[in-house]
Amino acid sequence: MQNKCGQFFTSYRQENRLFKTWFERFWLLVLFVGLILYPLCFDSYVLQLCMINIAIIAAVSLNVLTGACGQISLGQGAFVGVGAYAGVWFVQSGAAMLPEWMFVVFGGPFIPAILCGGLVTALVGMFFGIPSLRLKGIYLAIATLAAQFILEYVFLHWKSVTGGHSGMAVPAPEIFGYTFDTYPRMFYLTLACAVLMVYLATNLMRSKPGRAFVSIRDHHLSAEIVGVNLFWYKLQAFAVSAFMAGVAGGLWAHTARYLTPSPTFGIGLSISYLAMIIIGGLGSVLGAVYGAIFISVLPICLDLLAELVGGFFPELATPIKATKGGVFGLVLMLFLIFEPEGLAHRWRLIKAYWKLYPFAH
């Protein structure tokens, strides 16, 4: 948080700003203009961009819980699943339960349903977070792994809600009569949600609850001494994290438009979220964003590479495709060895370097 040379703050509010310089604000604007223009100019990879937005929300949610609060969760994939099914249920069967004014304010059942799906997921997350009072580290990991399997079982067998093995179709979301039935439209919706969630998580991390989370991670004994109610804050971390995961799930369901429980919301998804926050940087909101983008883009790049090489050497195309998983794992491992503090840390170092360039000190 060290500022540029010649940049002085005259109030705490100024110092606490998220984007402190016009330079930062300008490039952020450029980024968003680019993102908004992309689906208008190009057709390919729009679905992947939607999924990246969703992955960003889920990774940020996991980073609040695991990166900041230190409560490892191997059940985040299942929490996303809970949000997906709950969101769809509230759009279809549960819409009657929602109060009338919500439809008026939010222009239809979609937004209330996503929020209610998030709340249901938060309750589920809090329930599975209860063991965190007694269990730490690897033991908590196993407890949340149990949550993963229990929830997957429920997805498969609660057929009236989830459709069981055969899955179920999801209608396109509609807000104020505007139907989000194409991928470009879904891209704007998921982008808006991702920006909102990243903003909320950033605020959370820079104020009282976020600091309490990190204090629990760094030294839970002295956290209690400074007045942090350990159990309550751990539960809050589970609740916030699961809520965001639930929102990600609701968006996922409405982007994919078809839900099958397994392996979509399986242990593989949980692990990949964990990989995102480790690669991005534990405890940093921006890190989770970088990690989500990296993990989502890497397989696409490997595919492109395989295609490219296959163009020159057709006989190599199949073996390259076959080793894709291995290359993916290798890249992850190299990252952990050479960049253990994540992309967010590397980004800070790069910024620090250019701040002083061309001087050494």
Partner 1 sequence: MSLLDVTGITLTFRGLAALMNVSFTIEEGEILSLIGPNGAGKTSMLNCISGRYHPDEGDIAIDGKSILSMKAHRRTEMGLSRTFQNIALFKGMSVLDNLMVGRHSQMKYGLLASMLYWGKARRHEDMHRRRVEDVIDFLGLSPYRHQVAGRLPYGVQKRVELGRALAAEPRLILLDEPMAGMNLEETEDMARYILDINEEWGVTVLLVEHDMGVVMDISDKVVVLDFGSVLATGAPEEVQQDKDVIAAYLGGEDETFLGR
Q: What angle do CA 269, 120, 206 make, to 5 degrees?
A: 75
- At closest approach, how far in Å is the CB of 115 from partner 1? 13
Please tell me whether residue 25 binds partner 1 under the rule CB under 8 A. Answer: no
Q: Are 48 and 292 in contact (CB under 8 A)?
A: no
- At closest approach, how far in Å is the CB of 234 from partner 1? 13
Nearest partner of 194 among 89, 60, 309, judged by Cα? 60
Task: Please give the single-letter amino acid code of residue 182.
Answer: T
How far is 68 from 74, CA to CA, in rounded Å?
15
Binding flags for partner 1, 177-206, as an x/- string (CB under 8 A): -----------------------xx-xx-x
Nearer to partner 1, 206 or 257 (CB): 206
How far is 288 from 284, CA to CA, in rounded Å?
6
Enumerate residues 218-247 that contact partner 1 by CB under 8 A. 218-219, 221-230, 236, 240
Please tell me whether residue 217 binds partner 1 under the rule CB under 8 A. Answer: yes
Nearer to partner 1, 186 or 216 (CB): 216
- At closest approach, how far in Å is the CB of 190 from partner 1? 20
Residue with token string 């980073």? 63
- At closest approach, how far in Å is the CB of 240 from partner 1? 7
Residue with token string 């609040």? 64
Binding flags for partner 1, 280-299, as an x/- string (CB under 8 A): ---x----------------
Q: What is the CA radius of gyration of the chain?
A: 21
DSSP letters, 248-270, are HHHHHHHHH-EE--TTTTSHHHH
In the complex, the residues that contact partner 1 under the rule CB under 8 A are 1-2, 11-13, 16, 200-201, 203-204, 206-212, 214-215, 217-219, 221-230, 236, 240, 283
